[in-house]
A and B are shown apart, each in its own frame.
Chain A
Amino acid sequence: MATTDGDSATASQRLDKDTREKLVTAVRHTILLTWSFIVLFPLYWLASMSLKPPGTANSLPPDWIFLPTVYNYIQLLQNSGFVGAFANSLIMVSASVVLVLLIGVPAAYVLSRYDIPMERDVLVWILSSRMLPPIAVVLPFFIIFRELNLFDTRIGMVLMYVSINLSLVVWVMKAFFDGIPETLEEAARVDGATQFQGFRKVVLPAAKPGIFSVAIISFIFAWIELLFGLVLTSFEAVPVTLFVYSFIGSRSIEWGMLAAASTAMIIPVVVFLIAVNKYLAAGLSFGVVIKE
């Protein structure tokens, strides 16, 4: 039987615990809200700058309240350089994603289902393609592309984008295939399907979320790439990142248009990121973290 003394002790302990928990929660949310502000403020600033009337974009003290205008975006749409570069990036990056999936997904399937000799070494070799600094890779390709007439072509850029993402696709898809039970294909084989049919009709549909997320993450990594465009293009195949850079480089910077161009580059990627946010950890960790 508990004494009155004991009862009051537990009560005060409980009270103590309650206040402590409240304090912990308060600190937690203070930190998280501060970080939210750090995340959002630069993006808000960029977007608001792109919507300010010309001439007021960088006035200090800042115009916190202003009448938004799409003037900068209209200017941007009339700039054939920007429109061309944006279209270029969309075409080249999308093509590279299709190509890297065609090359990487079947290979990942084999790595997942067959006993490959020295499988670990093969996987580390594949990963090592990501370790090569792009500047060291692009230098030989700069010379070879000139010989092969691939310099400043979309095809050349597509190949370089494939090189960034192939290791990612193989690793992530191998992990996803590992998670799909082999009994599924075996059942299909019993029904008379060939191995290829089993892969195409049974395994691929089951791996859809993996393919979707790795496609989007590959898209992002290629979309944000600057160096390959800088070294391997001059006019025809200029990607949007290089166009934005040329804006920064010009002597008299048009801040409003620069902000608009950057915002236009960021928005589609934000949408993509949110679309795959559930599988983002799996994709970004090269398939090591699959479950959340």
Chain B
Amino acid sequence: MSTPTQTETTSKSTFARLRDLWNDYLPYWFMAPMVAVMVMITFFPGAYDLYLSLIAEPTLDVFAADFVGLSNFETAFTRGGAIHSFVITITVVVSALLLETVLGFVLAALVAGVGSDRTKSFYRVLFIIPMAVAPVSLATIGRIMLNSEIGIIPYVINTGTPFAAPNFLSEVPLLTVILLDAWNWTPFMFIIFYAGLSSVPKTLIEASRVDGAPMWRRYVHVIIPYMKPVVFVATLIRLIDLFRTFGVVYGLTGGGPGTATQLVSINIYEQMFINNQITVAAAIAIVYLVLVVALCNVIIAKVGFEGVWD
């Protein structure tokens, strides 16, 4: 048995101690960076928005700040157009969500019923492509194709049909935004629903077919109930992301004409950089943040992730 020298013992034990520390507390090391970043991106912005919304002039020095109570909220909701922008946001979110859910489900069901596997995967790959288009590129496409002077779509409507094309960007801007978003993100619903449909056990479908139930009843009574968790998760995630909408509207209409497409996110941006009223922007931001987080959490609590986690 050889005796190690003094230095060897120390260096070895230091290394071993470090390694033990690493291995013994592995879950903590693994979690720590994630928790740190999460705290930074969840608690900090909310707290800071709240702080900014209560003061007169943005300053980092809390003790020098001039607290003005709710006056920023008053400005936001009287002259700031906050209520109008909330109404616009809810209109866009609800219409786009409904449209994308229904379209996505119908397309998924139609593709799932295609006989040949090759045709099936052809459609599946083709239909996801719009997701590759960034909102700002989608706005570009919209501006190119819908422009009342040079756009191909008004041109085709005017020359090929008896109807006169509306000016998509100034007469029906809200509808245009909703339709463009549906083009962009129906693929999201489609691909998740398609995966969900493929996971419905064959035996379940066979059993309902033996009953002689017509197709629509098979969907309503057997397939959709089975897919409930998938439908819930897809619509929840899409709902969350719809509240994040910014780029397509900013690039397409910039919130206009007037304030016709002024989403809350656009309104906050304009308060910040055009009106230079950061504290009013923060007041709208904190209300928006609280409402969205509360709504999503209520939905999660009410519907729950049953069948998702258990």
Which residues of A come within 8 Å of B, CB atoms?
25, 28, 31-32, 35-36, 38-40, 42-43, 45-46, 49, 58, 60-62, 102-104, 106-107, 109-110, 114, 120, 124-126, 128-137, 139-144, 147, 162-163, 166, 170, 194-196, 220, 223-227, 230-231, 241-242, 244-245, 247-248, 253, 255, 258-259, 262, 265-266, 269-270, 272-274, 277, 280-282, 284-286, 288-289, 291-292
Which residues from chain B contact A170 at a C-beta distance below 8 Å? 34
Q: Is B15 in contact with chain A by the CB < 8 A criterion? A: no
| CB pair B41 A28 closer than 8 Å | no
| CB pair B188 A284 closer than 8 Å | yes
Nearest chain A CB to B66 CB, angstrom units: 16
A167 to B277, CA, bound (A): 31
Contact of B129 among A61, A110, A270 (CB under 8 A): A270
Hey, what's the 0/1 contact readout for B268-294 against A, CB within 8 Å counting as 1? 110011000010011001101100110
Q: Is B196 in contact with chain A by the CB < 8 A criterion? A: yes
| CB pair A196 B26 closer than 8 Å | yes
| CB pair A49 B308 closer than 8 Å | no
Nearest chain B CB to A126 CB, angstrom units: 6
Which residues from chain A contact B22 at a C-beta distance below 8 Å? 196
The answer to whether A135 and B246 touch (CB under 8 A), given A129-B42, A143-B58, is yes
Which residues from chain B contact A25 at a C-beta distance below 8 Å? 115
- Residues of chain B at interface, number, CB under 8 A: 99
Which residues from chain B contact A104 at a C-beta distance below 8 Å? 34
| CB pair B110 A32 closer than 8 Å | yes
A262 to B195, CA, bound (A): 30
| CB pair B192 A281 closer than 8 Å | yes
Nearest chain B CB to A203 CB, angstrom units: 12
| CB pair A147 B60 closer than 8 Å | yes
Nearest chain A CB to B227 CB, angstrom units: 10
Nearest neighbor of A102 in chain B, beta-carbon distance: B33
| CB pair B129 A132 closer than 8 Å | no
Q: Is B207 in contact with chain A by the CB < 8 A criterion? A: no
Contact residues, B92-149 vs A (CB, 8 A):
106-107, 110-111, 113-115, 123-137, 139-141, 143-145, 147
Contact of A110 among B30, B147, B183, B230 (CB under 8 A): B30
A284 to B268, CA, bound (A): 28
| CB pair B192 A58 closer than 8 Å | no
Which residues of B come within 8 Å of A, CB atoms?
22-23, 26-27, 29-31, 33-35, 37-38, 40-42, 44-46, 48-49, 52, 58, 60, 106-107, 110-111, 113-115, 123-137, 139-141, 143-145, 147, 150, 152, 155, 159, 183, 188, 191-192, 194-196, 198-199, 229-230, 233-234, 237, 240-241, 243-244, 246-247, 250-251, 264-265, 268-269, 272-273, 278, 281-282, 285-286, 288-289, 292-293, 296-297, 300, 305, 308-309
Nearest chain A CB to B59 CB, angstrom units: 9
Nearest neighbor of B19 in chain A, beta-carbon distance: A194
The answer to whether A284 and B192 touch (CB under 8 A), given A136-B49, A259-B140, is yes
| CB pair A266 B134 closer than 8 Å | yes
The answer to whether A110 and B31 touch (CB under 8 A), given A39-B130, A284-B191, A285-B237, is yes
Could you jot down 9 A-B contacts, CB within 8 Å? A61-B155, A129-B42, A139-B48, A220-B132, A223-B134, A226-B251, A227-B247, A248-B140, A285-B195
| CB pair A120 B309 closer than 8 Å | yes
A144 to B230, CA, bound (A): 39
| CB pair A226 B136 closer than 8 Å | yes
The answer to whether A133 and B264 touch (CB under 8 A), given A226-B136, A292-B195, is yes
Nearest chain A CB to B107 CB, angstrom units: 6
